[in-house]
Amino acid sequence: MNLSAVSHFTLSAYVDTGPWRYFFFLIVLCLYVLIVLSNVLLVVVICVNRSLHEPMYLFLCSLFVNELYGSTGLFPFLLLHILSDSHTVAAPLCFLQVFCVYTYGHIEFVTLAVMSYDRYLAICFPLQYNSLMTVNRVAALTAIIWFYSLFVILIIVSLMLRLKLCGNFIDKVYCGNFSIVKLCCSDTSVNNIFGLVYLFSIVFGFIVLILFSYIRILKVCFSGSNQTRQKAVSTCSPHLASLLNFSFGAFFEIMQSRFDMSSVHIVVRIVLSLYWLTCQPLFNPLFYGLKLSKIRFLCKSLLFGKKPGDS
């Protein structure tokens, strides 16, 4: 059957939890509310305070907006299915979720890669930094990141729509591109070729950019003064923590999508598949809000009416 003719998909990874479903619903709802409140708070803090209209904080603002976008593409859907007895989803909604989830992941990774380059310029070229990374350049880079990501994922979803399927059961708790492609009984060579080109661009583009940036940062740190090392640690540690957290979750998602994980307990598979979509939006506000003193002080001022100098 053609993918366009499929009216719905069944998400077979959901398990019957009986009355415990309400407990799980409350946990997931609390996580979603916490993610929304913390990310909205940081977006507001960055937008309303002119002292934070610097490249690093503007990139962070884009990152927090993306986490709100990605979370909204997952959590309402997840909450609905936790309480539902029927774990079917209409095909258009499934395709929309694939688009949202994958654009979130792509924007997140590309933004983190550009932020690593921004930290490289700030630490290795401090005197030229303001002329190299202007506010207009940050705005242009952010627009390119978003439009490029939306365009690439739109191609991936479009290629998926042309496939013929032999079933409509997805072994996950949300819709994923590769989960749908695995149901295919037609030629997927075009999808595979584009997937390889896409993977190549990620590996030899953005990963190389990240490695180059941090190799140069480490070189400056080892040969520089204590002040330079302290600046590098204070500004790079939240970014590195965020990057490692996202990479960890993305790695397990790729492993689960590409390889047979039937021997792994279903609960473990569900947690690993949701990790990269939940922990990044949840932990990033903590990484940056606690580590970066400017954000920490301004959050206290906004929430409790404290001045930056107050304890």
* 74-113: pLDDT as tens digits: 999 999 988 888 888 888 898 999 999 999 999 999 999 9
* Whole-number CA gyration radius for the chain: 21
What is residue 99's predicted lDDT score, i.e. its pLDDT?
94
**CATH number, residue 97:** 1.20.1070.10
Q: Is position 309 within any domain?
A: no
> pLDDT: is 225 or 30 the higher one?
30
Residue 144 placed within a domain: yes
**Please, which residues have CB within 8 angstroms of residue 204's CB and are 6 or more apart in sequence?**
none
Sorted by sequence, the CB contacts under 8 Å of residue 226 that are 6+ apart come out as: none
pLDDT recorded at residue 309: 47
pLDDT at 43 over 60: yes
Answer whether residue 260 is part of any domain: yes
Q: Residue type at 221?
A: C
Measured from the Cβ of residue 95, the count of other Cβ atoms closer than 10 Å reads 21
pTM, full prediction: 0.88
Q: Residue 299: which domain range?
A: 3-304
> What is the domain count for the chain?
1
**310 inside domain:** no
Contact 5, 162 (CB under 8 A): no
Give the rounded percent of residues in the chain with a pLDDT score beyond 90.
27
Residue 109 is assigned to a structural domain of this protein: yes
More confident residue, 259 or 68: 68
| Within-domain flag for 272 | yes
Q: Is residue 156 part of a domain?
A: yes
Q: Are 291 and 237 in contact (CB under 8 A)?
A: yes
Does 255 reside within a domain?
A: yes
